[in-house]
Amino acid sequence: MSSSRPPLRNRWLPREPSRTARARVFLIPYSGCGASMYRQWPAERDGVEFLPVELPGHESRFVEPNFTSYAELGEQMSEGLAPYLDVPFGFFGHCGSALAAYETSVQLVTRNVATPSALFVSSEVAPQDGPAGRFLAMDDHELGAELEKLIRELGGTPSAELIELYLEVLRADVETNKRYVVPEPFRLPCPIVAVGWTGDEEIPYSTMGGWPTCGETKSVLLEGGHHRFIEAPDDLLDLMGAALGAAS
- Give the DSSP H or E segment for 212: none
Mean pLDDT, the chain, whole residue set: 92
CA 190 to each of CA 57, 65, 214: distance values in angstroms, whole numbers, following the listed order: 29, 31, 10
Mean pLDDT lowest for which of 86-90, 133-137, 153-157, 180-184?
153-157
**In contact, 52 and 120? CB cutoff 8 Å:** no
Identify which of 71, 213, 207 has the alpha carbon closest to the alpha carbon of residue 130. Answer: 207
Q: 3: pLDDT confidence band, cut at 50, 70 and 90?
A: very low
User: SS3 of 178, please?
Assistant: helix
Predicted local distance difference test score (pLDDT) of residue 5? 41
Give tens-digit pLDDT for 163-194: 888 898 989 999 999 999 999 999 999 999 99
Residues ≥6 apart with Cβ < 8 Å to 242:
none
How far apart (Å, rounded) are the C-alpha atoms in residues 38 and 53? 9
Beta strand pairing status for 23-28 and 118-122?
A: unpaired
Q: Tell me the chain's radius of gyration from C-alpha atoms.
A: 17
Predicted local distance difference test score (pLDDT) of residue 14? 95
Give tens-digit pLDDT for 57-87: 998 898 999 999 999 999 999 999 999 999 9
How far apart (Å, rounded) are the C-alpha atoms in residues 189 and 103? 13
Predicted local distance difference test score (pLDDT) of residue 247? 62
Predicted local distance difference test score (pLDDT) of residue 165? 83
Percent with pLDDT over 70 in the chain: 96
225-243 burial: b if 16+ Cβ within 10 Å, else e: ebbbbbebbeebbebbbeb
Phi/psi class of residue 92: alpha, beta or left (left: φ > 0; alpha: ψ in -120 to 50)? beta
Amino acid letter, 168: E
How far apart (Å, rounded) are the C-alpha atoms in residues 47 and 214? 28
Q: What are phi and psi of 196, to 5 degrees?
A: -110, 170
- Rounded to an integer, the average pLDDT of 48-65 is 94
Q: 6: pLDDT confidence band, cut at 50, 70 and 90?
A: very low
The more confidently predicted of residues 2 and 138 is: 138
- Give the DSSP H or E segment for 246: helix 234-247
How far apart (Å, rounded) are the C-alpha atoms in residues 82 and 96? 23
